[in-house]
Structure 1
Amino acid sequence: MKILVTDGGYKNSLAVVRSLGREHKVTVLYSKPYDLAVHSKFVSNSVKVDAPTVSDVKKYGQFLVNLVKKRDFDFLLPVGLKSNLAVSYFKDELEKHVNIVISDWSSMRVAYNKDLMTKVAQKLNVPVPRTVELNEPRIPLGLDFPLVLKASDDSGGFVRYASSKVEFTRAYNYLRSKSSTKIIAQEYIVGEGCGFFGVFKNGRPVAVFMHRRVKEFPITGGPSAVAESYYNRKLLNYGLKLARYLKWSGPIMFEFKHRTRQNEFYLIEANPKLWGSLDLTITAGVDVPKILLKLGTHDKVEHSFSYKKIRFMWVFPDEILVVLSNPKKELPDFVSLLKSPLTVTNINLSDPFPTLLQLLMTFKNGVKVMTNSKYRFPHGRPEVRWDDR
């Protein structure tokens, strides 16, 4: 089959290419010449799309419609958030030319909006941090520092932490200048990061997976540097309940913080797309890209609800950046985890060029991390004890 995969610069796109490219002809969309997935030996072709087009959902969606009209693709697999938004928005038009697995826009617009998903969770009695919508840079009553301020545009760049009035005002003004979506303030939940992941068809689960974050970079919140497969019945029920309410189709992740003392999970956000730790999911035995391909092309799909106990370490660049942030503390942990028989890494010598690019990225970003604290704490630094679980 001929498959179009978006977002060649993401590590989860690389995971998709390595999963599907052995048996199918995979074309990757990319914006920069050093995008990871483009350089995999499992890529048959690539198409460039400029970054400004990707940032505009309507322009990007029309670009994808025109592309699948011209090319004879059997399946389109969007990876990043903007790609999923664009494909969902243009779902009816795209389905005339290519197979896709995506939710309707009515569900997608709720799932990617942090404010709306918080309200959904409250309606379903899924715990969330105390949340207040902000219309001005005024500290809300009932919330204490540290606080998390969020816009709904995307993860990472649209999140800021505040531990004082000055930081709160600065964070609000920054988000307001960058985003046209609603801004919310939430209490900061201290706990271990856990994720529920699933592939659904009209709200019914086809595959499920859960993980626990061992390390992330930046340490205040970012992509997993080390994560391990995990199971918890309460987390499973919360994830299934949310997806069922949304009548979800396709992949989705629900990110939670786990307060272990109370044994309670708090929904932090939904990510209506393929998740960054997809390598772990596939390695544990839930090959999500293949499942999505079968769903999209109406092939017989075996439901996947069990998986192996395994730990995945993204050595380059994430875990090395964690180590460089605090060598005295993190280096012994790195060595210990690397020696564990449970640990699998993203060092892939059978597909060497993406691994080489990741190594070069590590050198580039490592210098920044060692010389500028802004790169260690890009979202701010909440004044909490990190070991207070």
Structure 2
Amino acid sequence: MPDTRGYGEEMGAARGRVLVTDGMQRKALAAVRGLHRAGFEVIVGESTRFAPALFSRRAHAWFVYPPPRESPEAFLRVLEGALRRHRCDVLLPMEEETLLVVLGARERLERWARLPFPDRSLIERLRDKGNLAGLALFAGVPVPRTVSVPAGGDPVQAAAALRFPVVVKPRVSTGAYGLRYVDRPENLAGVWASVHARFPGPLIQERLPAGGEARCVTLFLDPEGVVRGAFAHRRLREYPVTGGAGTWRESLHAPAETAAAVRLLRAAGWWGVAHVEFKRDLRDGRFRLLEVNPRFAGSLHLAIESGVDFASLLVRWSLGEAVEAPGYPEGIQARWLLPGDLLAFLARLRQGRFDLDFFRWGGWRLRFDDWGDGDWFAVVGAALAAGPMVTRHEFRRLLWR
């Protein structure tokens, strides 16, 4: 039997029960708060007790599971026990790696709860940036010119038609992880080989000029391709500063990018929630596709605060409710202050840029990913989680990116 120590007391469910995984992530905390606000009881899990969402006052119960990547079978046993014990209606894996493990055991887990996500094979196709470039061309969505290197081939020859600088990127990665920038052709072979050693078969893509605005579109499509939720935002600040997660974001209406994202996802046969990223090419002013994340995005909190609660929309739809895409206002902002926006501020400071607006804390338009909704216990959880994180090599390396 799974270890159920740490579960909260049972009580009658209101609108239904939802199990949310990956409680360390700020998007999980946002989902917990939004689902609670929508009338659901939320069970939240993570591989450590010291996670913000597990401390949230909006969580009905919590549990600790083995790490999904390192111990998938043990993770599934504990997850299955939690679904059964709490009589959950819907399961929402928040991180991509967790989602893939869960979808690999779909039949087993759907005995206990609904899993409103497409097949694993579709997610893996969208994760592959090589497939994505071809799909974008088919759907008529602008994308930076991208080439792959044949097995045993010469990366310099493969990239002969590209304009430098270029970026060497893993076929499967999240955000800026694993990216390497190359300014001159003579440096390409060595950089490509170093990335290839860790991420086999990386792509070579023309790098868009620095300074172009990044816009992101989150969509919820049903299996018929009907848009059940749509939200767009722009990044006011990001980390790493060369291109990464949005640490300060603002809602906006972006009809052209939203239409392009809808075409792309429909061409892929996608349904569910996905996050599509674009960047303006300063050479011609067009927004070009960078990547698709077939999952909830880290910016979920801004969408919820703007009135588009993708987690609740997906859960309600999976339970048979009729849902329509809600409207939202422009100009709502959200900051991921710790550590995201602090790291961005320090990085820009090292470049000689002092962002005075980092010290702006107020205003009716501004929200914070880290706290809000009177949920101060989650802030305590975030502080406790920070201790183990700063001892990790990966986190300390972030400080100097």
TM-score normalised by structure 2 residue count: 0.82
- Paired residue for 2:220? 199
Letter in 2 for 1:326: R
Gap change, CA 1:220 and 1:361, over 3 Å in 2: farther
Once the two structures are superposed, the pairs formed by residues 339-350 of structure 1 within 5 Å of their partners are 339-348=362-371, 350=374
SS in 2 for 1:227: strand
- Paired residue for 2:12? none
Q: 1:87 and 1:363 mapped to 2: Cα distance? A: 29
Q: 1:48 and 2:64 equivalent?
A: yes
1:246, CA displacement in angstroms?
Answer: 2.1
User: Identity over the aligned pairs, expressed in percent?
Assistant: 25
Matched residue count:
373
- Paired residue for 1:131? 146
Counterpart selection for 1:186 from 198, 205, 225:
205
Q: 1:176 and 1:75 mapped to 2: Cα distance? A: 39
Letter in 2 for 1:160: R
1:287, CA displacement in angstroms?
Answer: 1.2
Given that 1:84 and 1:272 are in contact with CA atoms closer than 8 Å, whether structure 2 keeps it comes out as no
Q: 2:80 and 2:135 mapped to 1: Cα distance? A: 31
Counterpart selection for 2:182 from 135, 155, 162:
162
Given that 1:317 and 1:359 are in contact with CA atoms closer than 8 Å, whether structure 2 keeps it comes out as no
Q: 1:332 and 2:322 equivalent?
A: no
1:80, CA displacement in angstroms?
Answer: 0.9
Q: 1:250 and 2:265 equivalent?
A: no
Given that 1:286 and 1:307 are in contact with CA atoms closer than 8 Å, whether structure 2 keeps it comes out as no
Q: 1:297 and 1:43 mapped to 2: Cα distance? A: 20
What whole-Å deviation, never above 9, does each CA across 1:262-288 have from its counterpart, x for those lacking one? 331111111000010111100111111
Counterpart selection for 1:281 from 281, 295, 303:
303
SS in 1 for 2:160: coil
1:25, CA displacement in angstroms?
Answer: 2.6
Once the two structures are superposed, the pairs formed by residues 233-244 of structure 1 within 5 Å of their partners are 233-244=255-266
Given that 1:313 and 1:344 are in contact with CA atoms closer than 8 Å, whether structure 2 keeps it comes out as yes
Counterpart selection for 1:37 from 53, 56, 61:
53
Counterpart selection for 2:172 from 148, 153, 177:
153
1:347, CA displacement in angstroms?
Answer: 4.8
SS in 1 for 2:354: helix
TM-score normalised by structure 1 residue count: 0.85
Gap change, CA 1:306 and 1:326, over 3 Å in 2: closer
Q: 2:78 and 2:198 mapped to 1: Cα distance? A: 24
SS in 2 for 1:21: helix
Q: 1:24 and 2:40 equivalent?
A: yes
Given that 1:158 and 1:175 are in contact with CA atoms closer than 8 Å, whether structure 2 keeps it comes out as yes
SS in 1 for 2:229: strand
Letter in 1 for 2:271: S
Given that 1:217 and 1:223 are in contact with CA atoms closer than 8 Å, whether structure 2 keeps it comes out as yes
Aligned-residue CA RMSD in angstroms? 3.1
1:43, CA displacement in angstroms?
Answer: 1.8
Gap change, CA 1:205 and 1:374, over 3 Å in 2: closer
Gap change, CA 1:61 and 1:339, over 3 Å in 2: same
Letter in 2 for 1:104: D
Gap change, CA 1:367 and 1:106, over 3 Å in 2: closer
Counterpart selection for 1:115 from 113, 130, 141:
130
What whole-Å deviation, never above 9, does each CA across 1:50-109 have from its counterpart, x for those lacking one? 33x336778866775565456521110111111232344443443333112111234222
Once the two structures are superposed, the pairs formed by residues 3-18 of structure 1 within 5 Å of their partners are 3-18=18-33
1:195, CA displacement in angstroms?
Answer: 0.5
SS in 1 for 2:116: coil
1:168, CA displacement in angstroms?
Answer: 3.8
Given that 2:76 and 2:102 are in contact with CA atoms closer than 8 Å, whether structure 1 keeps it comes out as yes
Gap change, CA 1:317 and 1:334, over 3 Å in 2: same
What whole-Å deviation, never above 9, does each CA across 1:339-358 have from its counterpart, x for those lacking one? 55432223526111332454
Given that 1:217 and 1:322 are in contact with CA atoms closer than 8 Å, whether structure 2 keeps it comes out as yes
Deviates more, 1:129-138 or 1:198-207: 129-138
Gap change, CA 1:94 and 1:368, over 3 Å in 2: closer
What whole-Å deviation, never above 9, does each CA across 1:21-51 have from its counterpart, x for those lacking one? 3533322221233222112112222232333
1:329, CA displacement in angstroms?
Answer: 2.2
Given that 1:91 and 1:102 are in contact with CA atoms closer than 8 Å, whether structure 2 keeps it comes out as no
Letter in 1 for 2:202: I
1:110, CA displacement in angstroms?
Answer: 1.6
SS in 2 for 1:54: coil
- Paired residue for 2:13? none
Q: 1:319 and 2:336 equivalent?
A: no
Given that 1:57 and 1:85 are in contact with CA atoms closer than 8 Å, whether structure 2 keeps it comes out as no
Gap change, CA 1:167 and 1:62, over 3 Å in 2: farther
